[in-house]
Structures are given as structure tokens and as C-alpha cells.
Amino acid sequence: MSVSVKSFGKDKSGSPLHLYTIENGNGMTVSVSDIGATLVSVKVPDKDGKRIDVVLGYDSAEGYYENNCFFGAVIGRSGNRIAGGRFTIDGREYQLDINDNENNLHSGLNGFDKRTWKVLRAEGNLVTFFLKDADMEQNYPGNFEVSVTYTLGEDGSVSIHYEGKSDADTVANMTNHTYWNLSGHDSGLINDQTLMLKADYYTPVRDYQAIPTGEYAPVEGTPMDFRTAKPIGRDIDADFQQLTYVKGYDHNFVLKREKGAVEKFAEACSPKTGIRMEVFTDLPGVQFYAGNCITADMAGKNGAVYGPRMAFCLESQYYPNSINQEGFARPLLKAGEKYDTTTVYRFCTG
């Protein structure tokens, strides 16, 4: 395998940006960019051998700067929501941007998704991006150096490996915010696509602001039960308070897995294309988001028009607001310790 490179526009300083594409021996390609270390495209052969792009996105970097949905982005330092945008480490309180109702979402206004990442390596079957995030950038403590490596396997796997280190105690809860549509990024609603989640519990939210209550609620007997695969649209409009709060699915699920092991926790499939996606992680939770708030009539790749519920996200993570919530695993990276986590999306047909 090899990596091809082409122009992908310019960053805000006028420096050139690039699109890096890896292809395996089975006709699958993965394209990533140094704007936000973004996953721009994943093209997978469907049941008829036609190559289908299953990732929502834009034709050039300029679209990602205007993107308010975080299409394909690496999120950092902290994914999901932090209540009030505040947290305390070693007795000192830190205040982040308030950019989602009364809370901080995906780190703030100058998150990793809007930064230009340095390419450390682009060869064979992988691309590695690197970023230096300065002490008190976005009001996070510590100089944080992080790399993200995308690897395409011959088995149809797309691995995302995060590594980092800080010189002060800090929050580290990175994720990838790709929007998937296994019928094709331009194919419309995802209601008929099936999903299985290996989770007996989820973390219910307080209200429309989507901050968890701190409880672990059983999925059994509720629309939140995906332990057996079912169409995403089957229960999404059910008369269930958790769904009405956030206009559908936008919840953290508590994963059944061994600590430290990269294990399968989800499987999704399109009956139209036959494309199946298995997802693996070593993290304790996943945010299942059904694209409820994708802006209507949003212009995407190749003239596509996107709208609500035309894609879904499976964002591996520590739970939302876990830096503040007693009883949740805390995403605290101690000074000098290594941040190291992997999430894998593996594709096949049938």
C-alpha cells in the first residue's frame, strides 16, 4: 500500500493544506487531512462491487472551517460536554468556552478540529498527524503534545490511535466525530440502517442540554436497547423523555468490555448496500448520535445536500462531564504519563 497526496485548500494563514489517501488491495480507500486531522472519506466496495463513500464531509478545507457539526474531526483536548465549562484540578478551577447552551462542547471555539496538524509520517498504510497544544490554550493546563495515526488494514479496518503527554495534570478525552452513512454519504436518511450496541446501561441526561445526571440507567424495556440489532429509526421518535430532550439519540452508552482491551462494542449495517461496520475501542463509553441536528440543506461533498438524521456518529469516549461527575471514570492525564487509546472501524459486505 502507498499514500497519495493532493492539495486540499489553505488554512487561515494561507498555508497549503493536503489530502492524504491510502488504498488497500481490496479497493477500499481512506482519505485524511491536516485540517483537524480530519477523516474526510472512507470508500468501501458494496455488495455489487461499487465503491461507496460512507463519510459525510466537504470537498475542500474551507468547508471544515465553516463546519459547525464537527464532520470527521479529531476532537480535543476533551470531547463531548463539560457542565458550565468548568472543572477543577489540584484545587484550581479552570473555565472553558461556553459554546453549547450553558456548557462547553468538544473543547471550545479553537479546538483541535480547527487546527493545522503537522504530518509526521505518510507512507505505506498509515498517516500520522502531530499537534502541540500550549499550556492554557483554551484554558486547559499543561503543554500537551499529541499524535493521531490513521491506519488502513487489508482486512477493511480503519484504526485511529491517539498518543499524548502533558507536562502538567490535564484533561484528555479525545475522540473522532465522523458521521457515517453506510448507504453512502449522499443517500439520505439512516432510519433503515441497523445498529447493535454492546451496552446494558446508558447515562441519562438531565434535560435538553444533555449533561448526564450521574446515574446508570438500564436499556432494557426502553428505546435505548440496541443489544440486539435494530433499525436506527424504529424507536427514535418514541414518546420517551430522554429522546424528546435531544430530538432523538444523542446519549452515552456504558460499554461492556475488559479494562485496557480493544474490544468490539458495535455493529451497523445498511440493507441497501450490504456494507457492514464493526467498531472496537478500549474506552469505557460511546456517544451514539443520530445526526438529529445536522443543519438542513447543508452543502456537502460532490454537490450532496445533508440534513437531520442523514448520518450517525459512534464517538468512543470517557462519559460526558466525567471530569466533574463522581462515580464516572475521570479523564485526568497526570503530568508525564502517556495518553494512549485506540478505536477501530472495520468494514465488510454481507
Residue type, 34: D
- 126 to each of 152, 192, 206, 277, 282, how far by Cα in Å? 6, 33, 41, 20, 20
Query: Given strand 313-317, what is the order of strands in its sheet?
Result: 217-218, 201-203, 250-254, 285-289, 313-317
Nearest to 259 by CA among 281, 282, 279, 280: 282
Nearest to 36 by CA among 15, 17, 53, 23: 17
177 is catalytic: yes
Q: Which of 137, 251, 278, 315 is catalytic?
A: 315
Q: Which of 106, 177, 185, 251 is catalytic?
A: 177
Take residue 172 and report the three cell numbers written for it: 484528555
> Which residues have CB under 8 Å from 297's CB, separation 6+?
305, 306, 307
* Omega cis (within 30) before 77: yes
Distance CA 185, CA 241 (A): 30
137 is catalytic: no
Distance CA 350, CA 343 (A): 23
Q: Which segments of the chain does DSSP mark as H helices, in order?
A: 61-66, 241-246
Taking the CB of residue 101, how many other CB atoms lie within 10 A of it? 12
Nearest to 208 by CA among 102, 312, 285, 106: 102
Distance CA 304, CA 286 (A): 28
Partners of 332 in the β-ladder: 171
Cell 475542500 found at: 60
Q: Which helix (H) or strand (E) holds 313?
A: strand 313-317
For residue 47, the number of C-alpha atoms closer than 13 Å in the C-beta half-sphere is 11
Q: Are the beta carbons of 259 and 229 closer than 8 angstroms?
A: no
Give the catalytic positions in this structure.
Answer: 177, 315
